[in-house]
Amino acid sequence: MIRKYRIGNPIPTDSVVKEIVLSEGTIPYFDRNDEKKELTLLLKKNDRVYGLGETVRGMNKRGWLYTSNNSDDPNHTENKNSLYASHNFFVVFSKEDQFGVYVDTPGKVSFDIGYTKLDKLRVIFEDFDADIYIVEGESVLDIVSQFRGIIGRSYIPPKWAFGFGQSRWSYMTADEIREVADKYQEAGIPLDMIYMDIDYMERYKDFTVDESSFPEFPKFVEEMKERGIHLVPIIDAGVKVEEGYDVYDEGVEKGYFVKKENGENLLAAVWPGLVHFPDFLNDDARAWFGNKYKVLIDQGIDGFWNDMNEPAIFYTQDHLDEIFEQIDEYKGKNLDVKAFFEFRDLVGTISNYPEDYRRFYHEYKGQKIRHDKVHNIFGYNMTRAAGEAFERISPDKRILMFSRSSYIGAHRYGGIWHGDNHSWWSHLLLNIQQMPAVNMCGFLYTGADIGGFGSDTTEDLVLRWTAFGIFTPLFRNHCALGMRHQELYRFENVDTFRNIINLRYALIPYLYSEFMKAALGNKMLFKPLCFEYDDERSAQVEDQLLVGESIMIAPVYTQNATGRYVYLPENMKLIRFRAFDDYDEEALGAGDHYVKADLNEILVFIRKGHVLPLAEPSKGMECNLNNAELKYICYDSDAASYELYTDDGVSRI
């Protein structure tokens, strides 16, 4: 059962697509304090809190303050409050209590979950305007399904997007991309996608391709497609200010860019230097920007990633002017501690400067609204621009789309990747822990930058991370400018990498089937153990996951480990894979086990009465589309059966 309550006069987000009649009276479970603009509730000792999607820390969100305020912050350390997304849905869950809460507000809101006081959950609003949905059900999974039922069906990518993808900021030329494809081919490692980062564009102009580094682009796209590789270009939120550039000219002429109070287009800066931001919240501007993707689709492109759409702002011209004025005051002065810090802050806080997000306005649903009031739905509406346009441009065929910034609702139009992580072991664990939380909020096609984006990686980290990544729908190795190269063929253990990637391809019938069941049935693909097992120990497990109906995984995420402890909530069959056709099987009883897992080994546990279908891996998705020649690994304590979902992988459904 879902009840909806209204506080104040919230700006609609279009995240909920089902009409729900407003309930009168007080919001259940919470105390409401209008003066403090907060809702509070007391957490019982055993209550755990799950959800909030892409946030720092563990699966159980108790013990920290999370602020929904979409931020381009490439250091996802546990002291951070905000990442790129706002996913304001959580479930409070114990044997005694279970209810879900969705706080629908496009502005800033914080979730103090036992931070100020260990046993208190506070929802703290900047503006006390929100729709609050209270979801009750038979189980936590039922609560999640009901919630997913009101926010609309999750985005379904083309099946080829379940292949392996290689990315780097940036492959600078067509030849560099050819080289990546060649090297993967030589190494015998399948590859379905190569990602094109910002440098493919002509001076960072969206929907352009640099002719000197990517001559005859449509031909190149075709050449790669013939090799079974989809090129997936990035699209940034900022549109370069340059007369004669059609996207700029049209946007200015039609008034589609966000404007300052005085009606001038906001001048901000990102990659190309000065840019304007399209007003994705405005229906006409959104449709216009969305149609631009056709420029690349017409050249053979069938997938995109949307970046910098929090939006990230290096600086605004107005702020820069202010700084230049103030900076003179420091000239020739003895900068004592106080003055020095002031001086440093003046320049050092220039990017993503909070005041800049109050300098511009949107035309949203017939109203002029200051950006900060709707900040968290900006990236969502960029993804929506793409998703809505794809339905017009490509009515029959699915197009790949995923975004960095998001809000609930965006899950209908695209997937997400988890942003600029680092090549840190802790970020492999974070990746594991974020998967179920984003699923709860509707995001199913997700994955993190495997191997880590920032910092130099190590071969063992890439091995372990890839070994986990084979289970994530978005399976992409990506790396930042200037960091150690991490394409798999560069490492010593190429054979192991080949085996791991082949195992991914062998798992695709299962993964795709489970993904589709989750998308079509409003279910989760990744679940914490305690969502299905109600013993006390399962509730403590934060580093194992149920993936679909048949398997549990226990990734190794610590350096130099040759195994790990695994908790089994019931008898299971361990499959220790070295390759899709090289594994040991061992029936293990419920309880704790130390399980060996060398660098070349992957632990998969088959659940009681369940079946894991495996395909012969192939050179890429082209060959994987028909599930020919499946074999089945079963845990045979019950009559095991498995329903395999399949379709043609590209038609819209």
The nearest distance, CB 479 to ligand MIG, in angstroms, is: 8
Q: Of the two residues 39 and 308, which places its CB atom closer to ligand MIG in the complex? A: 308
Nearest to 569, CA basis, from 586, 585, 546, 548 = 546
CB of 85 to ligand MIG, least distance (A): 13
- Restricted to residues 391-430, the positions that interact with ligand MIG (CB under 6 A) are 404, 419-420
Please give the backbone phi and psi of residue 568, each rounded to the nearest 5 degrees, phi first: -105, 115
CA–CA gap between residue 5 and residue 155 (Å, rounded): 27
> Would you give the binding string for ligand MIG spanning residues 374-393, x where CB under 6 A is met?
--------------------
Total number of residues shown for the chain: 653
Q: Which is nearer to ligand MIG, 14 or 236 (CB)?
A: 236
Residue 99 or 305 with smaller CB distance to ligand MIG: 305
Shortest-Cβ-distance residue relative to ligand MIG: 169
Q: Please, how many CA atoms are within 13 Å of residue 431, restricted to the half-sphere of its CB?
A: 37
Which residues, numbered 210-239, are part of the site for ligand MIG (CB under 6 A)? 234
Segment 444 to 483, residues that bind ligand MIG, using CB under 6 A: 478
Nearer to ligand MIG, 196 or 545 (CB): 196
State in angstroms the smallest separation of the CB of 467 from ligand MIG.
22
**Smallest distance, ligand MIG to C-beta of residue 385, A:** 19
- Can you tell me which residue has the tokens 């200051």? 370
Residue 73 or 283 with smaller CB distance to ligand MIG: 73
Distance of closest approach, residue 210 Cβ to ligand MIG, in angstroms: 15
Min dist. Cβ of residue 462 to ligand MIG (A): 17
Between residue 296 and residue 325, which ones bind ligand MIG under the rule CB under 6 A? 307-308
Whether residue 56 contacts residue 76, with contact meaning beta carbons closer than 8 Å, is answered with yes
Shorter beta-carbon distance to ligand MIG: residue 478 or 523: 478
Exposed / middle / buried, residue 563 (Cβ in 10 Å: 0-12, 13-18, 19+) = middle
Fill in the DSSP letter of residue 351. T
Q: Which is nearer to ligand MIG, 270 or 633 (CB)?
A: 270
258 near 277, Cβ under 8 Å?
yes
Rounded to a whole number of angstroms, the minimum distance from the CB of residue 420 to ligand MIG is 5
Shortest distance, position 246 Cβ to ligand MIG, whole Å: 22
Q: What's the CA gap between 527 and 539, in Å, rounded?
A: 12
Nearest by Cα to 74 from 480, 392, 608: 480
Q: What is the dihedral of CA 134, 139, 140, 146, to 10 degrees?
A: -50
What's the min distance (Å) between Cβ of 478 and ligand MIG?
Answer: 6
State the alpha helices, DSSP H only, in 45-157. Answer: 140-151
CB of 319 vs ligand MIG, minimal distance in Å = 19
Write down the least CB distance from residue 449 to ligand MIG, Å: 7
Pattern 519-558, binding to ligand MIG, x per CB under 6 A? ----------------------------------------
Say if CB 419 and CB 547 are below 8 A apart: no
Q: Which is nearer to ligand MIG, 59 or 193 (CB)?
A: 193
Long-range contacts formed by 631-638: CB under 8 A, 24+ apart: 633/573, 633/575, 633/585, 633/606, 634/606, 634/610, 635/572, 635/573, 635/587, 635/606, 635/607, 635/608, 635/609, 635/610, 635/611, 637/571, 637/608, 637/609, 638/608, 638/609
Tokens read off for 568: 């089994």
DSSP 3-state of 288: helix
- The residue among 133, 132, 134, 130 whose CA lies nearest residue 106 is 130
Nearest approach in angstroms of CB 170 to ligand MIG is: 7
Q: Which is nearer to ligand MIG, 30 or 407 (CB)?
A: 407
How many angstroms from the chain centroid is the CA of residue 372? 22
Q: What is the smallest separation between the CB atom of 197 and ligand MIG, expressed in angstroms?
A: 5
- Cβ(462)–Cβ(477) under 8 Å? yes
Per-residue mark of binding to ligand MIG, 76-115 (x: CB under 6 A): ----------------------------------------
Residue 204 or 510 having the CB closest to ligand MIG = 204
Among 169, 330, 353, 424, binds ligand MIG (CB under 6 A): 169
Strands of the sheet containing 130-136, edge to edge, are 2-7, 130-136, 98-104, 89-93, 48-51
Number of residues that bind ligand MIG (CB under 6 A): 10
Window 183 to 212, contacts with ligand MIG (CB under 6 A):
197-198
Q: Which is nearer to ligand MIG, 131 or 449 (CB)?
A: 449
How far is Cα 627 from Cα 336, in angstroms, rounded to an integer?
A: 70
Q: Count the alpha carbons within 13 Å of 495 in the hemisphere toward its beta carbon.
A: 2
CA-closest candidate to residue 232, choices 247, 241, 222, 221: 221
Residue 303 or 419 with smaller CB distance to ligand MIG: 419
Rank residues 405 and 544 by Cβ distance to ligand MIG and give the closer one: 405
Q: Write out the residues near ligand MIG by the rule CB under 6 A.
A: 169, 197-198, 234, 307-308, 404, 419-420, 478
